[in-house]
Structure 1
Amino acid sequence: MTLGPAGALKYMLAPYGKGMLGKGSYSIVYRATEEGSGRTVAIKKSRVSNLVKRPTLRHEARLLELLKGQAAIPAVYGYGQLEHFEYMSMELLGSSVAELRKDDAGVTVKTVIRIMDQALAVLEHIHSLGIVHRDIKPENFLFALDDPSTIKLIDFGISKPFSRDKSTALKKYDPLKERRHIVGTLYWASLNSHNGEDLAPRDDIESLAFVGFFLLRGNLPWKPRPRMESQLRSQEIVRAMKAACSGPDLSAGFPKEFGELLTYSRSLAYDELPGHGALRKSFSSLADGLGLSLDGGPFDWTPCYPQTTNPIPDEPTVSVPDEDEDGGGDDGLGEDSYYGTDVDIWDRQGERDKDLTLPAEKEAELDSVIPLIEEVQRD
């Protein structure tokens, strides 16, 4: 039996507790077998009512279909909405960059350069098609199962089209005053996100710079926050720390190209597309100067323990009004800004942010080529 775009897909999930691959802020990922083809896939499952007009996984499936064709974009095989849940089947991938980094160690400069090169290539592809990812972090770079020299970028649930209209940049909010979470993941979010500004390609580049520093150093000056600290206090403290850290500060003891990446990202205007090619060339030249080959092959995850300096010796003091009303928080790692929103949606049957919506004609076009998932069973 052949299951193509015109046919419905059926999947058999592994027994409960054995097939779960991961759990995010709005979904759970399982290993499953596709009926008919026998293909092993990853099934992403998210709770959603049939009344919700912009379900998270439908949006993500559309974006993956729109972006397909670049080496770092995982394949999407199907989408379906059944009863109280929606499902997306996609390419099964391996470990993430975050998982392969050992303990609190750094990794080799060669490995980080290779990651930067592939990440910049996929971001150039995404940005050229008018999309900003908005949640760049080590957990979202996974390795292809059939090619350990290739990384894939995942989690497009809060990705969105970006506007080149400068007036959009003026529409901002005060996360502290309005008691709202920032967009993205606290540890990796750009300063613009902390300041409540609409995100653009420059912000993906800034988050990528943080990833590079983290891998080189084994740490960043803003540590994971105490679990019982309020989200607003965590946001303010991390914002102050990021603002105090320049590219040269964070790259002290490492090649200057990594610091220049952060400096460059912060110099871009809202409507300015990054020079991805020039950035890749900079890292390629760095590799040549160090006598490193960036050809394929498995990545080197040998632990490194560099002597790093902390440009922020003391934690900044911040004032958060009515902090007790915010309730207990957590470290913010692994969550995106739609965590609370999506839970809210399940309760009130409302709609997700309209800004995440692609043009109606593009959504219809993409929906017509994504096979439907008819049924998901457990063995």
Structure 2
Amino acid sequence: KQHRYATNLPSNSGGGKNILANNSPAAVGMSIAVDNIHEQQQQLQMQQQHQQQQHQQQNCMLKEMVNDRWRIIERLGSGTFGDVYRAVDIKCETQSVAVKRETHSHGKERTLSREKGYLDIKPDNFLMGVGKTSNTLYIIDFGLAITYRMPNGQHNPMLKERSLVGTPRYCSLNAHNKLSLSRRDDLISLAYILIYFIKGHLPWQGLKYKEMGLSLDEAVRQVKTDYTSGQKAAELRKDLCHQMVQFLDYTLNLRYMDEPDYGHLCRLLGDIMRTNQWSYDMTQLDWYNI
């Protein structure tokens, strides 16, 4: 059967195209959303590369030495912060211990270490696994992702963009100013999300921008500037613990080409967990037994 694109039909796919089959009574009034196959292939390829690299990292751990005494011989499973391995004492093969390989560089750093910038960090794009992967945080929709290095290894130069990239509520001021985005901008967005989770609201939400005589982008940019580095900067940081303030300020002070210190940021978040005596026990999460 022949098919044609019917551009006048509504689409709920968020970017797909509608197809109507010619000469098919059953197809009358029915639209079929077709996703961008190229984008799907790119995302699947990135996922496959991620899984292969994880497998290679696990294999590299085998037969590795710990403190010149313990030799890792097998992977037991996944722990809260990483993989757990069994190691034997090289002086006494019958004695073994469990070794936890902490992953200070969590998923976000691994994404960026592959020289990818995500550029649309927001709660909607994160999913928790279920069952055996209930302690795994997944990130989806790489539609805006970029490679921030050129083939010669140099960082992409900063350019002027034609429009805002990302989601106004969580994007950095650099995005509002239509500048090229990099690793720092993903981390700034992450800081905004954490503040949103802590306070339940961001100062630039729900603006009556039409009454302000501005577009949504312009209104959010104006208020966000005031609260991040302007007269109301202290108000945004009010009621935040000092570690969270440090997290925010660190990300805001990063320059375009800077390589972030992910270990420092992870330690700040770890300090928050310990200070509040929050548990890393994933079995206590609501979705663990789903």
The answer, yes or no, to whether TM exceeds 0.5 is yes
Match in the other structure for 2:125:
140
- Letter in structure 1 aligned against 2:181: L
Matches within 5 A, 1:169-184: 169=158, 171-173=159-161, 180-184=162-166
- Letter in structure 1 aligned against 2:193: V
Structure 2 CA distance for aligned equivalents of residues 60 and 289 of structure 1: 38
Structure 1 CA distance for aligned equivalents of residues 104 and 167 of structure 2: 18
Match in the other structure for 1:236:
218
C-alpha contact (below 8 Å) 1:143/1:151 kept by paired residues: yes
Normalization by structure 2: what TM-score? 0.61
Q: Structure 2 vs 1, CA of residues 151 and 250 (structure 1 numbering), >3 Å: closer, same or farther?
A: same
Matching residue within 241, 245, 257 for 1:255: 241
Shift of residue 70 of structure 1? 7.8
Structure 1 CA distance for aligned equivalents of residues 234 and 50 of structure 2: 34
- Count of aligned positions: 205
Matching residue within 181, 196, 201 for 1:219: 201
RMSD in angstroms over aligned alpha carbons? 3.4
Structure 2 CA distance for aligned equivalents of residues 58 and 266 of structure 1: 34
Answer with 61-70 or 126-135: which moved more: 61-70
Matching residue within 44, 55, 62 for 1:61: 44
Q: Structure 2 vs 1, CA of residues 27 and 135 (structure 1 numbering), >3 Å: closer, same or farther?
A: farther
When Rg is computed on C-alpha atoms for both structures, the one with the higher figure is 2
Matching residue within 254, 271, 276 for 2:257: 271
Structure 2 residues without counterparts, runs of 5 or longer = 1-11, 18-32, 55-102
Shift of residue 194 of structure 1? 0.8
Matching residue within 203, 210, 213 for 2:185: 203
Q: Structure 2 vs 1, CA of residues 24 and 213 (structure 1 numbering), >3 Å: closer, same or farther?
A: farther
* 2:134 paired with 1:151: no
Match in the other structure for 1:168:
157
Q: Structure 2 vs 1, CA of residues 70 and 266 (structure 1 numbering), >3 Å: closer, same or farther?
A: farther
Q: Structure 2 vs 1, CA of residues 285 and 139 (structure 1 numbering), >3 Å: closer, same or farther?
A: same
Give the secondary structure class of the aligned counterpart of 1:297: helix
Matching residue within 107, 121, 129 for 2:106: 121
Give the secondary structure class of the aligned counterpart of 1:245: helix
Q: Structure 2 vs 1, CA of residues 56 and 225 (structure 1 numbering), >3 Å: closer, same or farther?
A: farther
Match in the other structure for 2:8:
none
- Letter in structure 1 aligned against 2:40: L
Give the secondary structure class of the aligned counterpart of 1:152: strand
- Letter in structure 1 aligned against 2:42: H
C-alpha contact (below 8 Å) 1:132/1:160 kept by paired residues: yes
Q: Structure 2 vs 1, CA of residues 70 and 242 (structure 1 numbering), >3 Å: closer, same or farther?
A: farther
- Letter in structure 2 aligned against 1:251: R
Structure 2 CA distance for aligned equivalents of residues 119 and 212 of structure 1: 18
Match in the other structure for 1:14:
none
Answer with 208-217 or 160-169: which moved more: 160-169
Per-residue Cα deviation, 1:219-244 (whole angstroms, up to 9, x for no partner): 11111456989xx7111111111111
